[in-house]
Structure 1
Amino acid sequence: MDYTPKQGFPYYYELAKEDDVQSMFSSTPTLTLLKTINEENANYRYASDKWSIKQIIGHITDHERIKMFRAFQLSRKEKVQLWGYDQDFLVMNSRFDELSKQILLTDYINIRKASLSFIETLSPEQLKIKGIATEREISLEEFLKTIIGHERHHLNIVKEKYLNKK
């Protein structure tokens, strides 16, 4: 049986491979959904060892912040390993649960605007530049798609595990 973990590349890429990069970063389904969640529900965890919705918002923002810097490096042909990071460590050492949902959404919006601004500067040739992610060679365009795929992954979890509670 072929087992594909529900994280990392190629899983995140599969969630976004069909779409245009600029359109994906311009689209707002995550923001639209998160705006419907009130402050009390943003603190909800479906299990004691799981992140709150606030922590998920912060994690999605951190992920994009980290990955976009790596995308920038790759776009300039810097030979970088498009490595992962310790997401649990970063969330554990954040203040996400202390912050209001609105502050977290404002940060998310600002990071997305910066990402879109960067993407708009890329040429078709730059989108073809190759780098290494988890021992796989991928293009900058594929790498950018994994950022949205990662977000879609977490949005699916929020819908399935957090908003369908009761």
Structure 2
Amino acid sequence: MKKSDIQIDPGYYNRYISLVPDIDLTTALEQSLQALQALDIVQLEPLGDHAYAPGKWTLKNVLQHITDTERVFTYRALMFARKDPQTAPSMDQDIYADNAEADDRSLAEVLAELIALRTATIAQFRGYTDAALSRTGMSWKTEMSVLALGFTVVGHQLHHLDIIAKRYLQDPPEYAAAHN
């Protein structure tokens, strides 16, 4: 199913879904995996512990955040696809980031985990029929379909890869000065 097949407005999550073209979900997920696999780990590894501004996450934290959030989104999708009537719980991204301990790992390890998860996410969504993709549930305060959650996974990654490109790969002056 395509993004245009989303029937219920997912509210807040449109900020991510709108970043994805109107293509088939499987294609979008596969392209997102290819984008992760194309990241230049040699270029990124020295930036892994870098935060572009005080109080911002390190590059490792950003990638771990994508992973943690994807796990939450795919759990919600599973709940809705299987007609679990419970409301999916919220997620406090700052609590997750504060406790992820991503800075104790190499960037390559963090990225490898995300790639492995994305591979599993593709398999998960491939296993859903169109009927399952159309099912909805309450994602904290927002009714969402399984399909919308799939596109949210892709759009959330696009959002953060854009931040990485603009904020981490532009060689911020404070990073350059500290490493020259």
> Are residues 1:133 and 2:139 paired?
yes
Q: How far apart are the structure 1 equivalents of 2:148 and 2:107?
A: 30
What is the aligned partner in structure 2 of residue 4 from structure 1?
A: none
What is the aligned partner in structure 2 of residue 163 from structure 1?
A: 169
**What do residues 63-119 of structure 1 show as CA deviations (whole Å, max 9, x unaligned)?**
111111111111101123344311111111111011011111111111111111111
CA 34–62 in structure 1, closer or farther in 2 if over 3 Å, else same: farther
| 1:55 Cα deviation from its structure 2 partner | 0.6
Equivalenced residues, count: 160
What is the aligned partner in structure 2 of residue 153 from structure 1?
A: 159
Q: From 69, 78, 96, give the equivalent of 2:75.
A: 69
> Are residues 1:21 and 2:38 paired?
no
Structure with the higher fraction of residues in helix conformation: 2
The TM-score, its normalising length taken from structure 2, stands at 0.81
| 1:30 Cα deviation from its structure 2 partner | 3.2
Q: Percent identity?
A: 27
The TM-score, its normalising length taken from structure 1, stands at 0.87
Matches within 5 A, 1:51-90: 51-90=57-96
Secondary structure at 1:137 match in 2: strand
Q: How far apart are the structure 2 equivalents of 1:68 and 1:12?
A: 15
Gaps of 5+ in 2: 1-10, 174-180
RMSD: 1.9
- Greater Cα shift, 137-146 or 15-24: 15-24
What is the aligned partner in structure 2 of residue 32 from structure 1?
A: 38
